[in-house]
A and B are shown apart, each in its own frame.
Chain A
Amino acid sequence: MNSNDALLAYVLRLGDNALVLGQRMVELVAAYPELEEELANANFALDYIGQARMFYAYAGELEGKGRGEDDFAFLRDENEYRNVLLLEQPNGHFGDSIAKLVLFEAFYLQQLEALVHCTDKRVAEIAARAEKEIRYHLRHNTQWLIRLGDGTAESHGKAQQAVDNLWRFTGELFAADEVDNVFENEFDGPDLFRIREKWYATIAAVLDEATLTMPEDAWMASGGKAGQHSEHLGYMIAEMQYLQRVHPGANW
């Protein structure tokens, strides 16, 4: 894989992660436990949709075939999506959403911090902007995981269950493939091994404060980064792409 192909693939993955997570959050609108959290989560979803747009716009320029943000979002099939499996998992309850966000954002923040120093200027610029947003999300969501873990017996049980259920999707975050390796070597990209160490320490501290138990590392699911998804993504994409698919070529 040459460096240009790796760069394009890497940028698309970043865009896909942001969009798939943003879309999951959008599904929850008008169903949050309190009005103020409704506002918080709309802010977060807007951040993710904004990041997806920036990454896709750049991917279109790199590809040079005239595709724009909406072509990537609405006219690719699910096997062309390269997001990690963790993010396409259905929302479940509030505790599931919070656990998913903490597990992912503790990784994503490290990834963005590293990308700020990569040699591709555009990726570094987008990462610098996204990094500020995610730093706030992670703090907010971490506090929620602690509240749920150390709240009532019921919330503790639900939070523990959520972490246990999602844990098997965390391995894929750090499983470096060719795209990751080329991007790391050619563009001074993130070192996933080191990121995993930091992630592990962050998550261990959060779970400890939340009085939750860290799950044992066992079998880890993977495939999203290679376009092999869970059944859930197909439905999400079908719903999201509906209008563009029914009215090909129309302006909106």
Chain B
Amino acid sequence: MSNKEWPLYEVFIRSKSGLSHRHAGSIHAADDQMALDHARDTYTRRSEGVSIWVVRSSQIVASDPAETAAFFEPAEDKIYRHPTFYEIPEGVENL
């Protein structure tokens, strides 16, 4: 049965101008235009959006949870990238 299912799409919604699109959920659709309509009718029933992106779920490339440590932990010890790393001498302003 499942090979006949309409493909799965991920839905991203911009809730208002100035904000990024955010993942809202997913829907099934036979084609791209239908996917946009379905995303609209499913995820913006309460005026949740001003812009919608849809993308086939199979097209998303994701990082591997098993490699989370190797992928993300090396960033953790680079504390000098954060402003709180630095001491500001007393009396210095606007820094």
Task: Please determine whether chains A and B interact with each other in the same assembly.
Answer: yes
Q: Identify which of A4-12, A32-40, A242-250 touches chain B.
A: A32-40
Docked complex Cα distance between A198 and B34 (Å): 26
> Separation in Å of the A33 CB from the closest CB of chain B?
11
Asked whether, in the complex, the Cβ of A43 is within 8 Å of the Cβ of B45, the reply is yes
**For window 1-38 of chain B, which residues contact chain A by CB distance below 8 Å?**
6, 27-30, 33-34, 37-38
Q: Which residue of B lies closest to A35 (CB)?
A: B28
Question: Which range holds the interface residue count of chain B?
Answer: 10 to 19
Asked whether, in the complex, the Cβ of B33 is within 8 Å of the Cβ of A39, the reply is no
Docked complex Cα distance between A172 and B7 (Å): 41
Asked whether, in the complex, the Cβ of A39 is within 8 Å of the Cβ of B42, the reply is yes
Asked whether, in the complex, the Cβ of A40 is within 8 Å of the Cβ of B30, the reply is no
> Of the candidates A34, A40, A43, which one forms a contact with B6 in the assembled complex, judged by CB atoms under 8 Å apart?
A34
Asked whether, in the complex, the Cβ of A36 is within 8 Å of the Cβ of B30, the reply is no
> Given A143-B33, A143-B34, does the pair A39, B41 have CB atoms closer than 8 Å?
yes
Asked whether, in the complex, the Cβ of B38 is within 8 Å of the Cβ of A39, the reply is yes
Q: Provide the residues of chain B in CB contact with A36, threshold 8 Å.
A: 27-29, 38, 41-42
Q: Which residue of A lies closest to B29 (CB)?
A: A36
Q: Provide the residues of chain B in CB contact with A147, threshold 8 Å.
A: 30
A194 in the interface, Cβ–Cβ < 8 Å?
no
> Separation in Å of the B20 CB from the closest CB of chain A?
25
Asked whether, in the complex, the Cβ of A34 is within 8 Å of the Cβ of B28, the reply is yes
Docked complex Cα distance between A143 and B29 (Å): 13
Chain A 20-43 per-residue mask, 1 if CB under 8 angstroms from chain B, else 0: 000000000000001111011001
> Given A34-B6, A34-B28, does the pair A40, B33 have CB atoms closer than 8 Å?
no
List B residues at the A interface (Cβ < 8 Å). Answer: 6, 27-30, 33-34, 37-38, 41-42, 45
Jot down 12 A-B pairs with beta carbons below 8 A, ordered by A. A34-B6, A34-B28, A35-B28, A36-B27, A36-B29, A36-B41, A39-B38, A39-B42, A40-B37, A43-B41, A143-B34, A147-B30
List A residues at the B interface (Cβ < 8 Å). Answer: 34-37, 39-40, 43, 140, 143, 147
